[in-house]
Structure 1
Amino acid sequence: MAVEPARTLDECAKIAEAAGVHTVACVFSDTWGVARGKHLPIRQFLRDGRFSTAAVALSWNPRSDVQPTPWAEMDSEFKDMAVVPDLDTFRVAGWTEGTAVVICDTVDPQTGEPTAMDARAMLKRTLRDYADLGLTVHQAPELEFHLFDTAWQPISTKTWCYSIDRADELEPVLGAIREAMLRTGIDCEASNVEYGPSQVEINLRYATGMTAIDETILFRLLTRVIARRHGYNATFMVKPINSGAGSGMHIHQSLVDADGRNIFAEHDDPGHALRSTAMKGYVAGLLRRQLELQALAMPTVTAYRRAEDYSFSPTQVCWGLDNRLVGVRCLTPNASGTRVEVRWAAADANPYLLAHGYLQAGLEGMRDDAVLQPVSTGDPHADTTLARVAPSLDKAVEAFHGSAFARRIYGDMFVDTFTVMQRNELAAFGAHVTDWEFKRYADVF
C-alpha cells in the first residue's frame, strides 16, 4: 500500500504565507479528549514546531487539577514531555483569522517514543495493523451537543426534533459552525435540531483512518468557539438538562481493501443477515469487548444519565440491522455505504481511545472468527437474555481495570492511571452535596 510522503515545514510555510497565517494553534488531546496546547507565532513554529509542556496534562482531571496517579506521582517532579506536531495535519483554522492549526503527538523527550498515555499514538498503531492487512479504515463520528445562552440557561425547554422552522431560527450559529468546518477542511454532511430540548447535531462526513478522529477534536473545539461568538455556549456534556435527551457519539466504521472494495459488503455468507464474514466477525468482536471498553465509551458520571431504556441510547449488548435501539446498528444499503454504527458512546468520550478500542475489538473478532450472537429485532429492551451495560461508572471502571484485553491494547500504565483518574472523579462526586439533596431534605429534617 502506497504511503504518502510526510509534509515538511517548508510546505507548511507556503500554506501559511498564502493564507496570511501569523499564529499556529498546536493542539493535543488530553486523556479526557479535551483539546490542550499552545499558540505559537508562525516564525517560532517554522523553526521546529515542537514545544515542551508538563506531562501531568495527560493525567489531571477535567478541570486541570493535579492528583497523584501512576503516571505522575507527587514525587515525580512533574517533568516535561515533548509536544510534536504532525505536519500532515497542518491546515488553516477556519474559525479564526490569521491562524493555522496542527494536531500534535506527545513524546518522551528522553527516548523519542510516544508517551504511554498518548491515545493518538495508540490509534496510529492500530491503523498500521489494518494497513498490514491491506485494509483502510473509514470512520465518521456523529455527535450531538446542546446550546445554552451566555448565562448557561437552555435556549429551549421544548423538543423540536428535525424541525426546519427551529433550525432556521438557529441558522446564524449552526450555519457559522458549518462554514467554519468547511474553511477548516472538515467535510460536513448535515445539521439538524435533535431529540432533546436545546440539542442539535452536526454530521461529519466519513474520512480515512486518523483524519476522522483528528477532525472530531477540531469540530468540538470550533463548535464551542463559534457558539460563543454568536452569544451561545455549546457543550458536549452528555446530559446537561434533567429529563432531556443525552448526547451521544455514534461512530460509523467500514473497511476498504487495496482494490477499493468495502469488505463489509462482501456476500461470502449469503445465508446470514449480514452476508459478510468480515462484518460478522467485526461485530462479534465489538459485542464481546463492549463491557470492558465501556469506561472509555461512557467516561463520566453524567454519561450514565443518558443510558436509559427507550431513549435511543442502547442499554444492552446487542446488534441489529436498521434498528436504533441496539448497540451496534448494521447498515447494508449498498456496497459503498455498508457499515457498522457503534452507538454506545457518549459525546464526551475521547475519540482516539474509543476508535482504538473498537478497531482492536473488531480486528480480534475477525481474526478469531468470533461467533456472532443472534440479531436483535423489534424491541431489544424486552429481551431479558441480553447482557446489559454497566449501570454506573464505578462498575465500568472496575471491568476496564481487570480486563486483560484492555491491558494488551492500552498498556498497563494507561489502564492503571486511567483507573485512578476515574476513582478520583467518583470520590469527588460522592463527596458533593447536590442541589437535589438540598431541595429534598433541607426543610424536612
Structure 2
Amino acid sequence: MTANPDQDFVLKTIKSRDVHFVRFWFTDVLGAMKSFAVVPGELEDALADGMGFDGSCIEGFCRTQESDMLAYPDASTFQVLPWRPESNAVARMFCDVRTPDGLPFEGDPRHVLARTVGKAREMGYVFNVGPELEFYYFKGPEGAEVLDRGGYFDLTSLDYASDLRRDTVLTLEKMGIPVEYSHHENGPSQHEIDLRFADALSMADAVMTYKLVVKEIALKHGVYASFMPKPMAGEPGSGMHVHQSLFDLDGNNAFFDARDPQGYRLSDVAKRYIAGILKYAPEFCLVTNQFVNSYKRLVCGGEAPTYLSWASRNRSTLVRIPGYRPDREDACRIELRSPDPAANPYLAFAAM
C-alpha cells in the first residue's frame, strides 16, 4: 500500500464504496472536458506511473508523431460521482498530463495554471478566485425555448428551475464544492450559482465540475443547460465574473489597506494589479473570451464591459471594486467582469 495519505484514501474508498470505474478527467486547450475510465485493478499502477493515451486526438495537444501522453491522476481530487448509481459506483480524479519522460506537458491547461500559481507563491502570494457563472436552461439542445420569463432574483410558482438549482447545489456539495448562493438571473430562464472563493487551481477544477454537474442535472430533468456567452439576441449574455485577490503566505489579504488615502481601502499591490488587468485585457481576452459568440455579449447597453475602465460600484466597467463589507479585510477583492463561462478556467485564471 502506498504511503501517500491521499492515495491511501482513494484505494480504501474504492473498496468501501463499491467503485467499479474511476474516470480520469482533463481538458483540451479550449476547456472541453476529456475523460477515460480506469478499472480499480489498474489504479495503483496509474497513481505511480500514469496511464498512457493518444494526445494527438485532443484539441491543441500535439501532432501525431508526438502523440504518446501520460495522465497522472491527482489523488487529492478523488470524488465519487453522486449522479451515478451507488452500486457499481463511478468516481473521478483530475489528471496532470506528462510526456513519456515524466516532464509536465506544456500544453496541459492545468499545468499552465499550476505553474503560474507556483510563480505567485514564489513571490509570496496565494491567488484566490471566486467566479460567478451564469447559464441558460432551454427545453432542448436544438433551440432556445426557455422554461420561464423571470428576471433578477425572481421566485415564482412557475420557477421550475428552482428544483434544478437545488439539485445542482446539493450535488456540488456532495462533491466537496461549497456554494455561496444561487438565484434567477436577468434573462428569461437564466440562472447563476456562485462558488465560495478558493485558491485558483482548486477553483478551476471546481468550475469544470460545476459545468458538468449543471448539464447532468439538467439532462436528468429533461432539459438542456447552455454556457454559451450569448445564446439569444436581444437577451442578456452569460458572464463568468471573477472575484479575485492575493493573500500573503500568512493568510493576510494583500489587497486590503484601511489607510488608503483615496478611500477605496485598496493597497498599492491591489492598484498595481488592477493596472495590469487594464493594460493586458485586450490581449488576454483571447483566452477569457475565446469564441466569436463571446463578442456578441461584449456590446454597449448591457452590464457587460466594453471599455478599459474600473470603478467602485458601476457594474458596466471592466473591473469593479465590490463594496459589500468595506471594513472586512477578507472581503476586499476586485471583480473582473469580461470573462464568460465558455472559457477554459485554467487558462483564464492563469492569464489573470
TM-score normalised to structure 2 length:
0.90
**2:246 alignment partner in structure 1:** 255
> Which residue among 63, 76, 83 is the counterpart of 1:95?
83
Say if 1:24 and 1:241 are closer, same or farther in 2 by CA, change over 3 A.
Answer: same
Moved more, 147-156 or 320-329: 147-156
**1:19 alignment partner in structure 2:** 17
Whole-Å Cα distance in 2 between the matches of residues 260 and 14 of structure 1?
A: 33
8 A Cα contact 1:54 1:78, kept in partner: no
> Given residue 39 of structure 2, which amino acid in structure 1 is its aligned partner?
P
8 A Cα contact 2:257 2:265, kept in partner: no
> Which residue among 105, 112, 116 is the counterpart of 1:126?
116
- C-alpha offsets along residues 37-72 of structure 1, whole Å, 9 cap, x if unaligned? 112222222332432222124435xxxxxxxxxx64
> Given residue 123 of structure 1, which amino acid in structure 2 is its aligned partner?
L
Q: Which has the higher helix share?
A: 1
Structure number with larger C-alpha Rg: 1
Does residue 137 of structure 2 align to residue 143 of structure 1? no
8 A Cα contact 2:148 2:158, kept in partner: no
Say if 1:135 and 1:148 are closer, same or farther in 2 by CA, change over 3 A.
Answer: same
Does residue 329 of structure 2 align to residue 335 of structure 1? yes
Whole-Å Cα distance in 2 between the matches of residues 277 and 134 of structure 1?
A: 15
Whole-Å Cα distance in 2 between the matches of residues 340 and 166 of structure 1?
A: 36
Whole-Å Cα distance in 2 between the matches of residues 351 and 86 of structure 1?
A: 18
Deviation for aligned residue 1:25: 1.6
Matches within 5 A, 1:199-214: 199-214=190-205
Deviation for aligned residue 1:236: 0.8
> Which residue among 42, 45, 59 is the counterpart of 2:43?
45
Moved more, 6-15 or 32-41: 6-15
Moved more, 227-236 or 39-48: 39-48
> Given residue 310 of structure 2, which amino acid in structure 1 is its aligned partner?
W
**2:215 alignment partner in structure 1:** 224
Secondary structure in 1 aligned to 2:29?
coil
Matches within 5 A, 1:193-342: 193-267=184-258, 269-271=260-262, 273-332=264-323, 333=326, 334-342=328-336
**1:409 alignment partner in structure 2:** none
- C-alpha offsets along residues 364-384 of structure 1, whole Å, 9 cap, x if unaligned? xxxxxxxxxxxxxxxxxxxxx
8 A Cα contact 1:141 1:213, kept in partner: no
> Which residue among 104, 119, 126 is the counterpart of 1:114?
104
Q: Runs of 5+ in structure 2 lacking a partner?
A: none
Q: Runs of 5+ in structure 1 lacking a partner?
A: 61-70, 359-445
Cα RMSD of the aligned pairs, angstroms, is 2.0
**1:169 alignment partner in structure 2:** 160
> Given residue 237 of structure 2, which amino acid in structure 1 is its aligned partner?
G
8 A Cα contact 1:6 1:87, kept in partner: no
Does residue 339 of structure 2 align to residue 345 of structure 1? yes
- C-alpha offsets along residues 305-360 of structure 1, whole Å, 9 cap, x if unaligned? 111112111011111112211111112422111101111111100011010011xx
Whole-Å Cα distance in 1 between the matches of residues 12 and 204 of structure 2?
A: 26
Whole-Å Cα distance in 2 between the matches of residues 350 and 265 of structure 1?
A: 29
Whole-Å Cα distance in 2 between the matches of residues 114 and 223 of structure 1?
A: 30
8 A Cα contact 2:81 2:91, kept in partner: yes
- C-alpha offsets along residues 262-296 of structure 1, whole Å, 9 cap, x if unaligned? 11112354236354111101100111111111111
Say if 1:13 and 1:167 are closer, same or farther in 2 by CA, change over 3 A.
Answer: farther
